[in-house]
Amino acid sequence: MADLPERRACITGIGQSKVGRPSSETPIRLTMQAAREAVADAGLTMADIDGIANYPMKTTEGGGISPVGVGEAMFALGIDATWIGSSTHEGPGHMGAIFQAVMAVATGLCRHVLVFRSVAQAQARLQARGSTLLGGSRGRVEGNNAWTVPFHAISPANMWALYAQAYFDRYGASSEQLGWVAVNGRRNAALNPNAIYRNPITIDDYMASRVISSPLRLYDCDTHIDGCTALVISCADAAMDLRNQPIRIEAMGMALGGIGQGIHTGDFTALPAGRAGDMLWSRTDLKPRDVDNAQIYDGFSILTLLWLEALQLCAPGEAAAFVEGGTRIALDGELPMNTGGGQLSGGRWHGFGHTHEACVQLWGRGGARQVAGARLSAVCNGGYGYGALLLRTD
């Protein structure tokens, strides 16, 4: 196991811009805020950064999904990189850029990589609702969307609702159980100054929230924001003398598939992310029971249940009962989950918020939301492209 590339990489610094909905700052300014914070956090200067990567490639369409390019950020920040990467959605999801950075430092292409994820979806919505697929000016749909959009399934909520219904039907799970993913996130977001929604909600509030695409309700869906999260990934040799105790990457896992894109297999009750979970645990001697905090992707609440099972933190069909009541996943529970509020209440940092929060916990910076004795974090991102990390400080 010692020769795994991820064992030659560490997270050495993190940064996150102020959240906005919308933000008064431009996307490049938000990116610079997060990047400067991350580099300073690591105890480095921009002159030390010799690699840069982001997810996904900049696009001027798509409603602010990726408003800042990797080259643009490099020049704005005065970085002179020898290695430059940008991952796409046709890869292991949001974490693709992190995996690329890990491999870049592990293979000696560079020593310190700035990795960032910028979003400006709140600003884009204000400017033009038509910037999304829904109201887009394109006459016809093609590619994967051609198989769903003609049937009005214009939102990912529609696709994930199919999974939620199938999961409910197969396992007898209920909205009253699923809702605890949202309630738990909101409870933790109240303790996170940079979360977008901080007013507590109860399970009754959840059940009273309007149905978007049955059985998914308003509180099952995350929310668009403007902001940027940045990380510094350093080669292990260069990480030891820096400001923070390096966060070691114990293992990583990745997969692609599902949500009806390409040929669909299975019965809609499990994610192809199970392959990412298998890969993750095949690369470590640690076991799921060793995890003491879990940052589980929650673009939609049902993804959290499916990911808990994909990562083997719950047995198939048991995640709904595991989150029910919110006790076992609470900050003082057996597996504190989405401790910063996740995306449902923290905002759609698009995966990177989960990795950021794992680092907050492992460095003991959580303040009122700190998990006592946090030493091993499981982090996962994605629906379609899937990535998972096991992070540790000890």
- Per CB under 8 A, residues contacting other proteins are 134-135, 139-142, 146-155, 157-158, 161-166, 169, 210-216, 260, 262-268
Residue 89 or 264: the one with the smaller Cβ distance to other proteins is: 264
Of residues 143 and 373, the one with the C-beta less far from other proteins? 143
Are 48 and 112 spatial neighbours (Cβ–Cβ below 8 Å)? yes
3-class DSSP state of 261: strand
State the nearest-atom distance from the C-beta of 125 to other proteins, in Å. Answer: 13
Closest contact distance (angstroms) between CB of 69 and other proteins is 28
Contact 147, 85 (CB under 8 A): no
Q: Compute φ and ψ for 113, nearest 5 degrees.
A: -110, 130
CB nearer other proteins, residue 215 or residue 317: 215
- With contact defined as beta carbons under 8 Å apart, do 185 and 157 qualify? no
| Closest separation in Å from C-beta 300 to other proteins | 12
Shortest gap between Cβ of 171 and other proteins (angstroms)? 13
CB of 91: closest distance to other proteins in angstroms?
20
Of residues 154 and 321, the one with the C-beta less far from other proteins: 154
- Residue 321's Cβ-count burial label (10 Å; 0-12, 13-18, 19+) is middle
| C-beta closer to other proteins: residue 70 or 216 | 216
If the CB atoms of residues 1 and 208 are measured against other proteins, the closer one turns out to be 208
Shortest approach of other proteins to residue 172 CB, angstroms?
12
Are the C-beta atoms of residues 375 and 394 closer than 8 Å to each other?
yes
Helix (H/G/I), strand (E/B), else coil: 243? coil
Question: How far apart, in Å, are the Cα atoms of 284 and each of 93, 251, 313, 316, 318?
Answer: 22, 6, 15, 22, 24
Tell me how far apart the 2 most distant CA atoms of the chain are, in Å: 56
- 86-113 in b/e burial notation, b at 16+ Cβ within 10 A? bbebebbbbbbbbbbbbbbbbeebbbbb
